[in-house]
Amino acid sequence: MSEKEPPAKDESSADRGQGADQGDRKNDGPQRPHKPWRTEGLPAGHGDDDKPRRPRWWKWGAWIVGGYLVLFLLTTMQDQMSGGEQTIAYTDFTVQVQKQNVAEIFSRGDTIEGRLKQAAEVPGKSGSTYTKFTTERPTFANDNLYGDLQKGGATVRATPVVAQRGVLLNLLISLGPFILIAAFYFWLFRRSRAGGGLGGGLGGLLGGGGQQKKPVDPSTVRVTFADVAGIDEVESEIEEVVDYLKDPEKYRRLGARAPKGVLLAGAPGTGKTLLARATAGEAGVPFFSASASEFIEMIVGVGASRVRELFGEARKVAPAIIFIDEIDTIGRARGGARSVGGHDEGEQTLNQILTEMDGFSGTEGVVVLAATNRADVLDPALLRPGRFDRTITVHAPDQPGREAILKVHARGKPLAPDADLTALSRSTPGMTGADLANLLNEAALAAARQGQSQITHRDLTDALEKVQLGTARNVVMPEEERRRTAYHEGGHALLGMIQKGADPVRKVSIIPRGRALGVTLSTPESDRYGYDVDYLRGRIIGALGGMAAEQEVLGVVTTGAESDLETATRIARSMVGRWGMSDAIGPVSILPAEGDARTAGVSDELLNTVDEEVRRLIEQCYAEARRLLRENRPKLDSIADQLLEHETLDEADAYAAAGITHGTRATAAPEPQPAPRDSA
């Protein structure tokens, strides 16, 4: 299965750069809810950069808790100072009455509080005395207590002997909860004025806001164009922005203004974020970065307020760069089903961005950079001159670019003398900077697991196989299944060797990887950007080689040909319906990249003709694959035997097994074409 279309890139992948590891956000600390952006290179003493501040709600929480504790301590101390009465038995009380030692009492029901003239010893506690006391008079007591107290000169009080809390303190305690609620709403009001709306304060309280911006040391994280590789043509386009930020007066003298906005469009991982950071680092200006999704909250108006504050902060330290990543999150064309009466939060945020970009003339020195991999869905108002004046497409790097990127990412990694980054770059067409960074990291991890002190070329190739084909599985296959898999992969490999202009076979294996029971890896010698009919037919023939080998040798067709048939059908449909490579259809494009062709006015009759041509083309290629394998049966048997013996054949061993001299190929595909044999 030597020909398989590469899997689509994961759209959610982080947009990593073409150069050194970005280290994005690694120094980011907690940020205030209404400031969801990160900063680099702000002037000393500006804003919050001198010292990171904790979120304000901690401050308010500390005041509330502290106030409560102070109030609690004061009331407790008052109770303790005013208390001190000793609970005594009524018998002991009558003894003190008989001794005429009672100075005063207060009675409520059967409870009696009082104070002695002279301290008396606490019953049962030697050395402990009391003056104030409380006791309970039994209901069955039949004594003349009042007369005895009069004889002793005791005063019967109308108020309690133990002082109670004052009216003011009791009022304060009763109003405490209401005071706390009022203070909370006052905090929300202050926060809304500082952060743009009640939603900003409430959103921060609920944890839905962004993070407080944290100062970043320019000497440790700033990157320049020296850290960017493989996209030289893009660097040259953005050099004008750097030059303007470095010396704006040169342009102002001639009445020129810098572009207000530059849109970086490209696939994930091509280096858009790193390029924006390098632009700010090269110009030596502050850099504000945020993801578009961080502006959006459930509460309407929060996003717009954050946009206003972000642009305001940038103007204070101009010249500066504002970078908005994944701008398609809020920049999609308006008027769709997601808009409800113009009050959608995303639409309001977009409107605020449009207003802010119109709000400065271009002489302030604030340049807006934005990145997206869906430039086709952006609102036209964003792309008009005066907002995003330029759109720069960032492509995947070519072979020299990939080699330069690998060298940048290899900094700090000990490479063995046999590690050949040039050869590795030739085997990785179509890979982006993020892919190459991940490739070198996987190689370093593998070397570390094996206890090596250096990264060898074997580690690099093993990492490439793991990234492209998946991790090897420990599956014990029956001997008959191994033999069928060996002929299947041998068919792919042999057709890749004998077809003129085919991609060189790099490795053949019958070790299961991922969903595949075996793999044949074919990658080009150099990049190619246009394909003719002969080359594409050769790819279809190569994709059908595994199925053809099974039928020629074993007389069966298995489910392992599923991915091969998908690849062959996809190429054939594109040749017939999109690229005008069929005489029956002619030089017209019928099948759209997305959607139903009938919506574009294509008739059912023409679509039926496309289906017939696709089937005819695949059948011709399949017949050709069987003929080539039949004529080269000894070579196929030799490859299968070597696979059964060694399980994996590298490039030299595979060609030696087939008895074919490996020469330099003139044509190549733009991406590696692994061909896994899918398990049933």
Q: Are 532 and 538 in contact (CB under 8 A)?
A: no
192, 200 in Cβ contact below 8 A?
A: yes
| Per-residue DSSP letter, 660 | -
Same domain, 201 and 290: no
Same domain, 342 and 313: yes
Cα–Cα distance between 579 and 571 in angstroms, integer?
10
Q: Which two tokens stand for residue 455?
A: 């990264």
Rounded to an integer, what distance in angstroms lies between the CA atom of residue 269 and that of residue 12? 10
Residues 645, 649, 655, 657: what is their CA dihedral angle, to the nearest 10 degrees?
0
Q: Can you give the pLDDT at residue 615?
A: 93
Neighbours of 405 (CB within 10 A): 31
**Cβ atoms of 79 and 119 closer than 8 Å:** no
Residue 157: alpha-carbon gap to chain centroid: 76
Give catalytic status of residue 612 as yes or no: no
* Final residue before a domain boundary, out of 394, 417, 452: 394
Closest CA to 234 of 281, 270, 260: 270
Catalytic residue among 3, 294, 489, 613: 489
Long-range contacts of residues 7-13, Cβ cutoff 8 Å, at least 24 apart: 9/267, 9/268, 9/269, 9/432, 10/268, 11/268, 11/373, 12/268, 13/268, 13/269, 13/434
Do 196 and 314 lie in one domain? The reply is no
Query: 639 and 530, same structural domain?
Result: yes
Q: What pLDDT, on a 0 to 100 scale, did the predictor assign at position 622?
A: 92
The CATH number assigned to the domain holding 278 equals 3.40.50.300
Examine the domain organization and report whether 324 and 309 are in the same domain. yes
503-554 pLDDT, tens digit per residue, is 788 888 888 877 778 888 787 777 777 788 888 888 899 899 999 999 988 8
pLDDT value, residue 32: 44
**End-to-end Cα spacing for the chain:** 15
- The answer to whether residues 305 and 187 belong to one domain is no
Tokens for 669, please give them.
């595909």
Beta bridge partners of 366: 320
Q: Taking the alpha carbons of 140, 142, 147, 151 in that order, is the dihedral positive or negative?
A: negative
Q: Which residues of the chain have pLDDT under 50?
A: 1-34, 47-54, 195-220, 337-343, 664-680
Phi/psi of residue 274, nearest 5 degrees: -65, -40
What pLDDT, on a 0 to 100 scale, did the predictor assign at position 616?
93
From 330, 382, 375, select the one nearest 354 (Cα to Cα): 382
State the DSSP H helix or E strand holding residue 115, giving kind and residue range, or none if neither.
strand 111-121
Residues 607 and 498 in one domain: yes
Both tokens assigned to 380: 């036209």
For residue 551, CA distances in Å to 197, 385, 543, 629 come to: 71, 61, 14, 10
Q: Is residue 382 part of a domain?
A: yes
* 443: nearest Cα among 460, 426, 427: 460
Bridge-partner residues for 266, per DSSP?
394
Query: Could you give the number of structural domains in the chain?
Result: 4
Residue 408 included in any domain:
no
Identify any residues that bridge with 392 across adjacent strands, giving them in sequence order. Answer: 264
111-121 sheet: strands from edge to edge: 86-87, 129-136, 111-121, 102-108, 155-156
**326 inside domain:** yes
Tokens of 605: 């009759």
User: In residues, how long is the chain?
Assistant: 680
Same domain, 139 and 73: no
Q: How far is CA 503 from the centre of its chain?
A: 36
Domain boundary among 350, 376, 394: 394
**In a shared domain, residues 240 and 297:** yes
Identify the pLDDT of residue 250.
Answer: 82
Phi/psi for 673 (5° steps) reads -120, 75
DSSP letter string, 303-353? HHHHHHHHHHHHHHT-SEEEEEESTHHHHBPSSSTT-STT--HHHHHHHHH
**Taking the model in full, what pTM does it have?**
0.59
The crossing angle, in degrees rounded to 10, of helices 345-359 and 302-316 is 20
241 Cβ contact partners less than 8 Å away, ≥ 6 residues apart: 258, 259, 262, 279, 283, 367
Choosing from 394, 410, 437, the residue where a domain stops is 394
Structural domain boundaries, residue 177: 56-78+167-205
Tokens 């050194």 -> residue: 20
pLDDT at res. 36: 56
Shared domain for 217 and 92, answered yes or no, is no
Structural domain contains residue 456: no
- Is the bond preceding residue 319 a cis peptide, omega within 30 degrees? yes
Task: Give me the CATH number covering residue 623.
Answer: 1.20.58.760
> Is residue 352 domain-resident?
yes
How many Cα atoms within 13 Å fall on the side-chain side of residue 346? 18
| pLDDT tens digit sequence for 76-94 | 666 555 556 778 888 888 8
In the block, tokens 């038995």 appear at 89
Residue type, position 101, single letter: N
Domain-located, residue 400: no
C-beta separation of 393 from 271 below 8 A: no
Task: For residue 260, report the phi and psi dihedrals to the nearest 5 degrees.
Answer: -65, -35
The answer to whether position 404 is within a domain reads no
Examine the domain organization and report whether 123 and 175 are in the same domain: no
CA–CA dist 671, 427 (Å, integer): 9
Whether residue 24 lies inside any domain: the answer is: no
Same domain, 138 and 173: no
DSSP string, 579-618: S---TTT-S---S-SSS-GGGGT--HHHHHHHHHHHHHHH
Q: Which of 272, 232, 229, 260 is nearest to 375 (CA)?
A: 272
